[in-house]
Amino acid sequence: MKTSVYEVFGVGAPFDPTFSLVTSPVLPPLALAALRLLLALYGTVFVLFRLIYEGVRDHTDAAFFSYFTDLSYIGLLAYFWAAGAQTLSYARAQRTHPLAPSYALQRWPRALQAAHLLLQSSALAFPLLVTAVFWGVLAGPDTLATRYAAWVNVSEHALNSGFVALEVVLSGAAPALPRRARSGVAMPWAHLPLLLVLLAGYLGVASITSATQGFYPYAFLDPHTQGGTLAAYIVGIAAGACAAFVLVRYAMLGRHLLALYFTRNSQQNESSFFGASTSVLDFASVAGGGGGGAGGGGGGGGERKGSKGDVEALEDWEEVGRPSMGSGERGVAL
C-alpha cells in the first residue's frame, strides 16, 4: 500500500483516531484543556509584560524577535493555545455527542493537521535546546542578580522545559508504535530534518539582525569574533536539537507504553475477579440445588427450599458483586 506524504508526517486518515492529542492517561479532557490553557495564559502574559516593560524602559523591543529564545517561547505558548482549544473542543463533544465524540482539528484540512503536528514537535524540542544552551553557555553572574532578572530567566530558560515535561508526562500524545503506524501521530521522524531547517533559517535571522541593528543576538554566532569556532557551535547546536527531539520522542513513547501496561494489567485483574465471581455464583446455585435434591425425599418442600436457597445466594452475591460490575464494564470499555 502506497504511503502518502501526509502519512509520513503523521497525518493519517482518519486523523488521530485514538484521540491521543486531546486525552491524558491521568486527567479528564476538561482538566487537560484547563492546564494547557493556563500554561498558555501565563506564557502570553509573560511575553507581553516583558515586551512592553523592557520596550518602555530600555527601548529594546525592536530586538525582541531577533532572539531564538523568544521565538521558541512564542512557539511554545502558541502550541499550548492550539492544543488547549482542541482539547476543549473534544471535552465539549464528549458532553454533546458521547457516543461519537470528535474535535475540531479532525475535521480541518490535512495541511492544518500537519502544521499542528510540526508545531508540536518544534514546541517540545526547542525549549530543551534553549535551556541547555543558556545555562551551559550563556548564563553568567547577572543571570539571577535581581528579582526581575531572575523571574525573566527562570520563566524563559527553565519553566519552558518544565512546561514541556508536563506535556510529555500528562498528555496522551505519543509517536506511533513499531509496525503500528496508526497507533500514534506525535513526533514522527520526518519532522527532525524540518526542525534542522528551521534552525538553519534562524542563522539568516541573526545575519539580518546584524545588518540592520548592528549586533548579533548571540555572540557565538558572530563570524568576525568566532572564526572557525562558529562551525563547531553550529554543529553542536544541531546535534543538541537532534538529542532534544529524540529525548522527547522516546519519553512520550515510554509514557505511552507504561500507560498501556498498567491499563492491560488493570483489565486482566478485573477479568480474573469476574471469572472468580461467576464460579462462586455457579457453585452457590449448584449447592442450593443440591440441598433441594437432598431434601427431595420429602417431596416438593425440598424443591421449594432449594429454590429459596438459590434466590438467597443470588441476592447475597449481587449485593457483593454489583459495585465491582460497574467498574469492570468501564475497564473493558477502555
Q: What is the pLDDT of residues 227-246, one digit of tens each?
A: 889 999 999 999 999 999 99
Last residue of a domain, one of 216, 233, 262: 262
Last residue of a domain, one of 262, 290, 321: 262
Could you report the per-residue pLDDT of 264-286, keeping only the tens digit for each? 876 666 666 555 555 444 544 54
Q: Do both 274 and 240 map to the same domain? A: no
Sign of the alpha-carbon dihedral angle for 208, 157, 64, 224: negative
Q: Are 16 and 171 in contact (CB under 8 A)?
A: no
Could you report the per-residue pLDDT of 252-269, keeping only the tens digit for each? 999 999 988 887 876 666
Could you report the per-residue pLDDT of 155-167, keeping only the tens digit for each? 999 999 999 999 9
Q: Do both 254 and 292 map to the same domain? A: no
Q: Do both 131 and 241 map to the same domain? A: yes
- Give the pLDDT mean for 58-80: 94
CB within 8 A of 41, min separation 6: which ones? none
Q: Are 39 and 166 in contact (CB under 8 A)?
A: yes
Q: Do both 288 and 256 map to the same domain? A: no
What does the DSSP 8-state code read for residue 136? I
Q: What share of the chain has pLDDT > 70, as a percent?
A: 78
Q: Are 140 and 248 in contact (CB under 8 A)?
A: no
Q: Do both 12 and 88 map to the same domain? A: yes
Q: Do both 114 and 241 map to the same domain? A: yes
Q: Do both 27 and 83 map to the same domain? A: yes
Last residue of a domain, one of 262, 287, 316: 262
Q: Do both 242 and 317 map to the same domain? A: no
Q: Do both 192 and 125 map to the same domain? A: yes
Q: Do both 256 and 293 map to the same domain? A: no
Could you report the per-residue pLDDT of 172-201, keeping only the tens digit for each? 999 988 777 667 899 999 999 999 999 999
Containing domain of residue 194, as a range?
5-262
Q: Do both 296 and 225 map to the same domain? A: no
SS3 180: strand
pLDDT exceeds 70 at position 40: yes
Q: Do both 78 and 205 map to the same domain? A: yes
CA dihedral 296, 302, 307, 311 (to 10 degrees): -130
pLDDT at 247: 98
Global confidence as pTM: 0.79
Per the structure, the count of domains in the chain is: 2
- Give the pLDDT mean for 117-145: 96
CA distance 29 to 50: 32
* Between residues 296 and 215, the one the model is more confident about: 215
Which three cell numbers mark 66? Answer: 531577533
Which three cell numbers mark 57? Answer: 524602559
